[in-house]
């Protein structure tokens, strides 16, 4: 059974432009008191961050969006990002003994390859987040991928077996419920402990400027502190920079 927290409103779709779009439109028609979950076998306009698209073979992966109608201070918006990041990382850790990392701000990495990602779309009024739609993609049974940076992988590639997507979905919803209901103030410590390429020189681009720096930590507001090759520390907000691995 699906977690009771999520079982009241659950939509299973065959094909849709985007499960995020579906829930955003649905929420305009009716305000839901409880979380709403939508999954799809295929999305022809799946969303990634910065208007990127999410590519997935039909019926091979977990494509899911969750709607929360809640009241969250705008200054606390990174909490939701952390809840989803840590939940997916914990999920993947169930299926592999390899170290699982969070690639700031919204990808999950194992064996230096991307296995999952998500996007959060908030509706904000007067510095209060009234609703959040989280689109999640977890690579499960797909074996071949388009070229990504970093390269993509899946549970099936990691373990040379196929999985029941519904079972993976149930586990992830259980983890999200636990982390959402029992939010641990130590989330930032947990997040930074599994930060991808922490304290390792990595290429980044900001505007037209390419530079090498080490990620030192992610802050409470979701910004990242880096130290460049001159030893100078700099702070960047989400969307200010991009990895060039």
Cis-peptide into 105, omega within 30 deg:
yes
What's the pLDDT at 4?
A: 66
CB 171 within 8 A of CB 91: yes
The tens digit of pLDDT for each residue in 122-178 reads 999 999 999 999 999 999 999 988 877 678 999 999 999 999 999 999 999 999 999
Smallest CA-to-CA distance from 139 within 199, 226, 64 is with 64
Spatial distance between the Cα atoms of 18 and 162, rounded to a whole number of angstroms: 25
What's the pLDDT at 57?
A: 85
What's the pLDDT at 46?
A: 53
Smallest CA-to-CA distance from 82 within 241, 221, 227 is with 221
The tens digit of pLDDT for each residue in 20-44 reads 999 999 999 988 989 999 999 988 7
Model pTM score: 0.92
- What the block records as the tokens of 148 is 């990504």
């Amino acid at each position: 059974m699906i977690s009771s927290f999520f079982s009241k409103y659950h939509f299973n779709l065959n094909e849709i432009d985007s499960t995020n779009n579906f829930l955003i439109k649905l929420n305009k028609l009716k305000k839901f008191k409880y979380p709403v979950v939508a999954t799809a076998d295929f999305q022809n306009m799946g969303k990634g961050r910065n208007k990127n698209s999410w590519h997935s073979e039909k019926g091979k992966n977990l494509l899911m969006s969750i709607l929360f109608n809640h009241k969250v201070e705008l200054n606390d918006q990174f909490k939701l990002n952390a809840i989803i990041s840590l939940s997916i990382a914990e999920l993947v850790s169930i299926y592999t003994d390899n170290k699982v990392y969070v690639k700031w701000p919204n990808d999950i990495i194992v064996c230096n390859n991307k296995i999952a990602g998500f996007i959060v779309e908030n509706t904000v009024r007067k510095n209060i987040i009234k609703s959040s739609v989280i689109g999640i993609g977890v690579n499960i049974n797909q074996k071949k991928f388009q070229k990504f940076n970093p390269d993509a992988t899946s549970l099936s590639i990691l373990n040379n077996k196929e999985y029941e997507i519904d079972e993976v979905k149930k586990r992830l919803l259980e983890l999200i419920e636990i982390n959402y209901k029992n939010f641990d103030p130590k989330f930032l410590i947990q997040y930074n402990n599994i930060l991808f390429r922490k304290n390792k020189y990595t290429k980044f681009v900001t505007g037209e400027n390419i530079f090498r720096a080490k990620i030192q930590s992610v802050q409470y507001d979701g910004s990242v502190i880096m130290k460049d090759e001159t030893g100078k520390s700099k702070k960047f907000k989400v969307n200010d920079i991009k990895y060039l691995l």
